[in-house]
Amino acid sequence: MPDLYAEALIRFDELYARAMESGLRDADAMTVSTVGSDGRPAARVMLLKAHDARGFVFYTNFDSRKGAELFANPWAALCFFWHELYEQVRIEGRCQPVPDEEGDAYFATRPRMSQIGAWASEQSRPLASRALFEQRLAEVEARFAGRDVPRPPRWSGFRVVPERIEFWRGIENRLHERTVYWLEGGQWHSGLLFP
């Protein structure tokens, strides 16, 4: 019996590599959708930072809106759409925080000002003025002057562990091709969907 999850991941890897090599700006961009405690969905564009058989990883402030929503309801949906390739991938699954060592390793690769920004920003909270944010940035820069910036304790990654992966390939006249892989009863299945 074929390993359908491995097949789906290989298919994603090939498509993602094609998108990244195509020269598209932000080819690693994806829409991340969550659901609040009020049952209302929210979506935003983020960058995929890692993916492997364990899942798909993005980073954020855990106290941001998306972070709070994922701790309350750990289900998320990702959507990659590469218009120039006329391809889309949708991924749905349960989120879990990445281990601290993984978060630390990724944070260390970020540009220094992005690291400082992670400390200075109260992501998703109201901001009285841009000047206040710039003041906070200057304070954090002074605090970490001459030394490495550690990862803030409430800033790290979420890994979406897939339970459904759908590939959409655009075809003229809207006769698109859709293939879906899904986990049910501990086994992966696959099939086609009407366009």
CB 166 within 8 Å of CB 90? yes
Of the listed 44, 147, 174, 178, which one is catalytic? 174
Q: Where are the beta strands (DSSP E) in the chain?
A: 29-35, 41-47, 50-52, 55-61, 75-82, 87-97, 155-169, 177-184, 187-193
CATH number of the domain to which 148 belongs: 2.30.110.10
Known catalytic residue: 174? yes
What's the whole-model pTM score? 0.94
> Which domain does 109 fall in, by range?
4-193
- Spatial neighbors of 78 by CB under 8 A, at least 6 apart, are 30, 31, 32, 33, 48, 56, 89, 90, 91, 92, 160
- The structural domain count of the chain equals 1
Instruction: For the chain, 195 residues long, give each residue's pLDDT as a single digit of tens.
Output: 679 999 999 999 999 999 999 999 999 999 999 999 899 999 999 999 999 999 999 999 999 999 999 999 999 999 999 999 999 999 999 999 999 999 999 999 999 999 999 999 999 899 999 999 999 999 999 999 999 999 999 999 999 999 999 999 999 888 999 999 999 999 999 999 999
